[in-house]
């Protein structure tokens, strides 16, 4: 030390100690030395002093470790361990705080963005959870760069993130941030030499002094995010208030829907299907409704997507087949010979063993009404599993059930499916015919579908006929059956049954 002092490498303020004793403690990054110094020439340190200092150093180390563990725990309680972002609990707290500030200062505006990565499950399935985790970490970094330091970014769980934008001027400003995020996440990520492409769907809720509480504010953003998914993903949707409030939060829905099925809260309305030449009712489509205990009657768009999401739609399919058979039994005496009741079956349910077994049980008990039952499903069933769908369809056909391909024209619309899969009906989606004037190309496509179906002995049903013009067009194309608001809206059971018994020509009523 004296040499360093002599070389002016260190300066001593005051005098140098006569003796000193030091005990190191800890390990990097938390370590140090406890030192005592003596300035008296008569006092030097003994072995006992050293022991005492070791004891003190150990206590200091323990105290620091305890503080560190406490602060780690506090961090873990409030942050997501993978991305180190705020977790749901911290996020909710920040949103609550921001809402309280808004109550005091009426000029303050805040917005919530709810983000869900599109097709994240596929990344996990294709490349494993390790790459999935790396993607979440990189997404978190990208999101951080797209927002201001004062905004709160959170990972709510899985592939869901949320941003609280404080003091945001307008909905447009929130939309600009969302657009920036969407663009930033479109750039490919390189993860361990694998290029991953992702995108996100964003729901935006804007707080504008209406009596928002935290729950409704969060539900609004969540609903808008689902809307963004439904509209084709990779986009942001601003919550429009009441219009979307029929959708129930996905978290509570799963439990409620299962309870609803147990308590038989789902029921049918029936939309007549007529013979387009005679105008007579030759069948009906059973359309499910949920008599929700607190929200009233819900349409499928309010719950079907979530039920598909969490898989409970398969139970709904089993339920609706069961319900349809109950109705057919009740109506038996009034049923015309060719009458068919169509039930919609989800793509998930159509290929499932659960539905097959349920139908098999009905078949074993009593199959004589099966000729009046038709199962409608969409091309999504085929795409989910070509071989399974073909095998299931063969079994269903052998049992005497009719099969219909629903919403033809909205999905893949592959004409080759018509040859490969034995559908008895195809239902031409209303989007095909709902334009005022069909383009020449659309007319040609419709004509070819109709004539191909005829040559394969498949009947065509026109869905969603809303005008006289559309009705005439479908008759001209020799489409055999039709349904739609112009002919008749979906009806409750008693009204439908009365109409069926009357056997009127529905085309003359209009
Ligand atoms: P979908 O099978 O294509 O059913 C036709 C939908 O169009 C029904 O809506 C019906 O009310 C509506 N509709 C009928 N005529 C017209 C018209 O002229 N114009 C317009 N704009 N719409 C018309 P809904 O009842 O809301 O059902 C929507 C979808 O929900 C159905 O589409 C079907 O995919 C699904 N769905 C309905 N019931 C069930 C069910 O019991 N189980 C399952 N898994 N899905 C169901
Ligand atoms: Mg249908
Ligand atoms: Mg349809």
pLDDT bin (cut points 50, 70, 90) of residue 249 is low
**Is 295 a member of any domain?**
no
- The dihedrals phi and psi of 86, each to the nearest 5 degrees, come to -55, 140
Location of structure tokens 């949920």 = 290
My answer on whether 72 and 135 are in the same domain is: no
My answer on whether 455 and 478 are in the same domain is: yes
Using the 3D structure, point to which of 78, 111, 130 is the last residue of a domain.
78
Instruction: Give me the mean pLDDT over the 122-145 stretch.
Output: 94
The pLDDT tens digits for 200-225 are 999 999 887 565 678 778 888 988 89
- Residues spanned by the domain of 460: 275-285+313-509
My answer on whether 34 and 132 are in the same domain is: no
Instruction: Give me the mean pLDDT over the 119-148 stretch.
Output: 94
**pLDDT of amino acid 450:** 85
The pocket of ion ligand 2, defined by CB under 5 A, consists of 344, 376, 406
Atom index in ligand 1 nearest the CA of residue 466 equals: 18
Name which of 48-57, 149-158, 352-361, 412-421 the model is least confident about: 412-421
289 C-beta closer than 6 A to ligand 1? no
My answer on whether 409 and 493 are in the same domain is: yes
320 C-beta closer than 6 A to ligand 1? yes
My answer on whether 239 and 336 are in the same domain is: no
Here the tokens at position 301 are 């768009």
My answer on whether 221 and 159 are in the same domain is: yes
More confident residue, 98 or 440: 98
The pLDDT tens digits for 437-474 are 566 777 777 888 888 888 899 999 999 999 898 899 89
**Is 212 a member of any domain?**
yes
Atom index in ligand 1 nearest the CA of residue 269 equals: 25
Note the pTM of the prediction, 2 decimals: 0.58
Residue ranges of E strands in 30-122: 30-38, 110-117
Q: Reply yes or no on whether the pLDDT at 250 is more than 80.
A: no
How many Cα atoms occupy the beta-carbon half-sphere of 443 within 13 Å? Answer: 9
Given a contact cutoff of 8 angstroms between Cβ atoms, the answer to whether 261 and 153 are in contact is no
**pLDDT of amino acid 330:** 96
**Is 293 a member of any domain?**
no
**pLDDT of amino acid 451:** 86
My answer on whether 149 and 227 are in the same domain is: yes
Atom index in ligand 1 nearest the CA of residue 287 equals: 38
Q: Reply yes or no on whether the pLDDT at 73 is more than 90.
A: no
**CA–CA dist 459, 318 (Å, integer):** 26
- In our burial notation (b when 16+ CB lie closer than 10 A, e otherwise), range 313-330 reads bbbbbbbbbebbbebbee
**Is 128 a member of any domain?**
yes
342 C-beta closer than 6 A to ligand 1? no
**Is 255 a member of any domain?**
no
Here the tokens at position 165 are 């934008």
5 C-beta closer than 6 A to ligand 1? no
Expressed in angstroms and rounded, the spacing between residue 287 Cα and the centre of ligand 1 is 6
Here the tokens at position 22 are 């030091």
pLDDT bin (cut points 50, 70, 90) of residue 243 is very low
Expressed in angstroms and rounded, the spacing between residue 393 Cα and the centre of ligand 3 is 19
Instruction: Give me the mean pLDDT over the 370-390 stretch.
Output: 89
Mean predicted lDDT score pLDDT of the chain: 88
**Is 323 a member of any domain?**
yes
Given a contact cutoff of 8 angstroms between Cβ atoms, the answer to whether 38 and 44 are in contact is yes
Q: Which residues contact 366 (CB under 8 A, 6 or more apart)?
A: none
Q: Reply yes or no on whether the pLDDT at 197 is more than 70.
A: yes
CATH of the domain at 417: 3.20.20.450
The total number of structural domains in the chain stands at: 3
Share of the chain above pLDDT 90, in %: 53
**pLDDT of amino acid 244:** 44
Name which of 42-51, 89-98, 378-387, 486-495 the model is least confident about: 378-387
Highest mean pLDDT among 252-266, 408-422, 428-442: 252-266
Instruction: Give me the mean pLDDT over the 96-109 stretch.
Output: 88
Name which of 168-182, 186-200, 418-432 the model is least confident about: 418-432
My answer on whether 50 and 97 are in the same domain is: no
My answer on whether 141 and 39 are in the same domain is: no
My answer on whether 418 and 497 are in the same domain is: yes
Nearest Cα residue to 169 out of 183, 148, 184: 148
My answer on whether 179 and 104 are in the same domain is: yes
**CA–CA dist 296, 315 (Å, integer):** 21
Q: Reply yes or no on whether the pLDDT at 242 is more than 50.
A: no
CATH of the domain at 105: 3.30.70.270
**Is 259 a member of any domain?**
no
My answer on whether 354 and 430 are in the same domain is: yes
**Is 269 a member of any domain?**
no
**pLDDT of amino acid 423:** 93
Expressed in angstroms and rounded, the spacing between residue 429 Cα and the centre of ligand 3 is 6
How would you classify residue 167: left for phi > 0, otherwise alpha for psi between -120 and 50, otherwise beta? left
More confident residue, 98 or 11: 98
Highest mean pLDDT among 209-213, 328-332, 353-357: 328-332
């Amino acid at each position: 030390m004296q040499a360093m002092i002599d070389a002016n490498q260190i300066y001593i303020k005051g005098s140098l100690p006569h003796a000193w004793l030091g005990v190191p403690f800890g390990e990097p990054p938390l370590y140090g030395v406890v030192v005592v110094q003596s300035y008296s020439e008569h006092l030097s340190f003994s072995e006992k002093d050293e022991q005492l200092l070791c004891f003190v150093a150990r206590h200091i180390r323990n105290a620091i470790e305890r503080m560190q563990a406490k602060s780690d725990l506090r961090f873990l309680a409030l942050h997501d361990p993978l991305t180190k972002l705020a977790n749901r609990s911290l996020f909710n707290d920040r949103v609550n705080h921001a809402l309280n500030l808004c109550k005091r200062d009426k000029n303050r505006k805040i917005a919530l963005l709810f983000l869900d990565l599109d097709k994240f499950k596929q990344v996990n399935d294709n490349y494993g959870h390790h790459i999935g985790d790396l993607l979440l970490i990189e997404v978190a970094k990208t999101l951080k760069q797209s927002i201001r330091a004062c905004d709160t970014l959170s990972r709510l769980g899985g592939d869901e993130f949320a941003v609280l934008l404080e003091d945001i001027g307008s909905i447009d400003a929130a939309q600009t941030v969302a657009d920036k995020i969407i663009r930033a996440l479109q750039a490919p990520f390189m993860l361990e030499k694998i290029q991953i492409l992702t995108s996100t769907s964003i729901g935006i809720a804007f707080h504008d002094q209406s009596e928002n509480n935290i729950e409704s504010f969060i539900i609004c953003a969540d609903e808008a995010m689902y809307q963004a998914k439904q509209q084709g993903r990779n986009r942001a949707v601003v919550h429009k208030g009441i219009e979307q409030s029929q959708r129930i939060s996905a978290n509570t829905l799963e439990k409620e829907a299962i309870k609803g099925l147990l308590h038989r809260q789902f029921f049918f309305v029936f939309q007549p299907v007529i013979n387009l030449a005679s105008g007579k009712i030759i069948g009906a489509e059973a359309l499910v409704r949920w008599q929700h205990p607190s929200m009233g009657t819900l349409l499928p768009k309010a719950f079907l997507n979530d039920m598909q999401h969490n898989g409970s739609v398969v139970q709904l399919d089993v339920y609706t087949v069961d319900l349809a058979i109950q109705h057919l039994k009740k109506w038996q005496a009034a049923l015309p010979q060719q009458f068919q009741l169509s039930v919609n079956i989800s793509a998930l349910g159509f290929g499932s063993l659960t539905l097959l077994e349920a139908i098999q049980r009905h078949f074993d008990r009593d199959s004589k009404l099966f000729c009046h039952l038709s199962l409608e499903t969409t091309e999504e069933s085929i795409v989910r599993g070509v071989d399974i769908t073909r095998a299931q369809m063969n079994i269903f056909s052998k049992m005497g059930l009719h099969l219909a391909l629903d919403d033809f024209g909205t999905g893949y619309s592959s004409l080759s499916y018509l040859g490969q899969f034995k559908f008895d009906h195809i239902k031409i989606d209303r989007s095909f015919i709902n334009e005022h004037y069909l383009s020449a190309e659309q007319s040609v496509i419709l004509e070819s579908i109709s004539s191909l179906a005829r040559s394969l002995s498949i009947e065509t049903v026109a869905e969603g006929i809303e005008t006289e013009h559309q009705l005439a067009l479908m008759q001209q194309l020799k489409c055999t059956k039709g349904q739609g608001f112009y002919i008749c809206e979906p009806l409750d059971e008693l009204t439908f049954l009365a109409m069926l018994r009357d056997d009127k020509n529905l085309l003359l009523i209009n």
